[in-house]
Amino acid sequence: MKSVLCEMLGIEYPIIQGAMAWVADADLASAVSNAGGLGMIGTGHDPVEIVNEKIADMKTKTDKPFGVNIMLLNSHVEEVVKAVCASGVKVVTTGAGSPGKYMDQFKAAGISVIPVVASVALARRMEKDGADAVIIEGMESGGHIGKSTTITLLPQVVDAVDVPVIAAGGIGDGRGMAAAFMLGAAGVQVGTRFVVARESNAHQNFKDAILKAKDIDTVVTGLITGHPVRVLRNRLTREYLKAEKEETSKEKPDFDRLEKIGTGALRKAVVEGDKNYGSMMAGQIAGMITKEETCKEIIEDYMTTSKKMILAQAKLWTE
């Protein structure tokens, strides 16, 4: 099973690994690329030196195609864009904003640009600005999210643009992948399941929390500050949501107080394994993940199950 996305990116399977800040290092991304998917280096709030180190590390670990994600809220974003353009990297995804003003630089460097979008309007704008594909991310995802669900956003974006559309958010196994194909996706992006991969350096406590999670164990914080983030619920989210309620009832809500509660909490979860005060970003499919597997096993599972589901579905119908 190959899709236009495989041709465009030179990969074997239409599976992109989500570029999760602190988690998506060269160990994880190279394992995904070596297994035939598209490994992605996450750069979050990294300064340019770290980005260069990660790319150099990646080049020692794989000869296969890989990409770099640029988080547009990164205060070093201008330098990071320049460094990535100079690095020979061939694929860039972007998150948390519009990469419009960097598009000329990416194009001049021969980079395929795949912005993550959370609305039809932004998908259209990205296509006009020269995006080679778009990733639609539903609010089932972990981390920073938009407002629409994958099942509603995906077909609307597929109808609105001509470039390939990749589905992200809520795609927990091959059944979700088959459903995304039915809605017109050319590929999927998977995050949470790769957090728990054997090759992922995320702290074992964070992995265990995902393995233990049930269907309703994620919550969305930051809805009133305009920066909604989906995480596993814990002491931090309880205190945060309480503070959010308090601020909402005030005449002059102190959004800074809320933002401060979350500062540095993602690192605490991923690096220190702080289950109580770490921001354990994870998608709603966390409840589907029951074991640690290699990236190769994860990718094979998506591919074999989705193929089986599509064939089984065909057998259920007659003209």
Please report, as ranges, the residues that interact with ligand TUI according to CB under 6 A: 21, 44, 71, 73, 95-98, 116-118, 122, 137, 143-146, 266, 281
> Would you say 72 or 178 has its CB closer to ligand TUI?
72
CB-based contacts of 252, cutoff 8 Å, min separation 6? none
258: nearest Cα among 273, 276, 245:
245
d(CA 120, CA 143): 20
Least distance CB 99 / ligand TUI (angstroms): 9
**DSSP single-letter state for residue 281:** B
For the CB of residue 263, give the shortest distance to ligand TUI in the complex, in Å.
Answer: 8
**Cα–chain center distance at 72:** 14
Q: Please report how close the Cβ of residue 145 comes to ligand TUI at its closest, in angstroms.
A: 6
Nearer to ligand TUI, 146 or 172 (CB): 146
Q: How far is the CB of 270 from ligand TUI (least distance, A)?
A: 11
State residue 276 phi and psi, 5-degree precision: -85, -45
Dihedral of alpha carbons 177, 182, 185, 187, sign:
positive
Minimum Å distance from CB 308 to ligand TUI?
A: 30
Instruction: Compute the least distance from the CB of residue 66 to ligand TUI, in Å.
Output: 18
- Judged by beta carbon, residue 20 or residue 309, the one nearer ligand TUI is 20
Give the nearest residue (CB) to ligand TUI.
143
Cβ closer to ligand TUI: 39 or 44? 44
63 class by beta-carbon count within 10 Å (0-12 exposed, 13-18 middle, 19+ buried): exposed
Residue 38 or 145: which CB sits closer to ligand TUI? 145
Specify burial of residue 60 (Cβ count, 10 A radius: 0-12, 13-18, 19+): exposed
Q: Which is nearer to ligand TUI, 30 or 221 (CB)?
A: 221
Tell me how long the chain is: 319
Please give the distance of CA 152 from its chain centroid, rounded to a whole number.
18
